[in-house]
Structure 1
Amino acid sequence: CDLRDLPPMVASELSHVHTRPIDFVCDSEARRMMNKVKDLQVEMVVCSAVDALPSNIKLPCIRIHKATWERKSVHEQRVEILLSLGTLAQDVRSARTLSQPGCGLTLLVRLEHSINNYLHVVRLLHIEGEQVEPQAELCLGQPSKDFGLVLKHFGLLLTGKLEWLIAEMAKRC
């Protein structure tokens, strides 16, 4: 991707790309600043171009059965989140490539950027005793072309499963 092809407003979000994993775990303010879902939801209201996405996006599973989640190791929780984020990023990238220039494309670029930031940070999280990536089932919800629903599920993934993982890891801060 050539940076000259990206809309100018994307550059405004680059300041949080360098959030260190330890900041992400131990500083809830750093996580709050990195979460751009509410900003995207506000901008979506004025952009009718994203009412219907050009392709389906598989929604991540956001429901958590507390007892089942707590039985999983931190490693398994992390892998499950990485799989969800990776699939979401791939589907958003596909929708972006099919989008026409305009505010819809700009929002998809910003969403993809945000998802990739989370992927980067979660990949770099140091989990003690982690040697081999455990296997995890990829849990996906229904496919959707509704940008608002995609944002909602992404936000709930961040405030749900990811925050539960961080809460466990933050005990070492």
Structure 2
Amino acid sequence: MGLIMKAKGWSVDDFALFEELPTSHSQDTLAFCQGTVQAMLNIGVHPTLSINNLLNKCKAQLLDIDDDAIDQLVDKRAPCWKTEINPGTYSGQKNRVRTFGTRAILVASSAVHQETAYAIVKAIYDNQKRLKGNHPALSLFPVGEAQKGIEGLKLHEGAEEFFAAQ
């Protein structure tokens, strides 16, 4: 939340009420549904049951997070990237929602053998359909995009070998 507020030039004083509510026991959802909270930021994967509940039970609406301030935030933070929540991701959602997120990075020790690392990366890419079938958030980046956002991290030799062969 702090990153977005800083990017937008906002402070807590810009809001009549500002609270960070725990997601445990759905306190944030309850506060929204009861009208105590009028807007909330969800950080997580999509689709998720909590957002579906907000949309269907509490008449929530997804809003775009896409402007110059967010563009600058994404440009300055390598793990961040622009993304969209496609229509139909949630029941009743008719429009595309522009937002941003972070990339997940699989990290392995350099002690992992090259063959093992290669086999892990290969298994992940060979099973893309199966992964995506388990949850849309497990959709993989195209091989050419998979190495972006890892400045400062050295690609494991086994992963290098896999990507070089593609």
Q: What's the TM-score once normalised by structure 1's chain length?
A: 0.24
Greater helix content: 1
Q: TM-score normalised to the size of structure 2?
A: 0.25
Which of the pair has more CA radius of gyration?
2
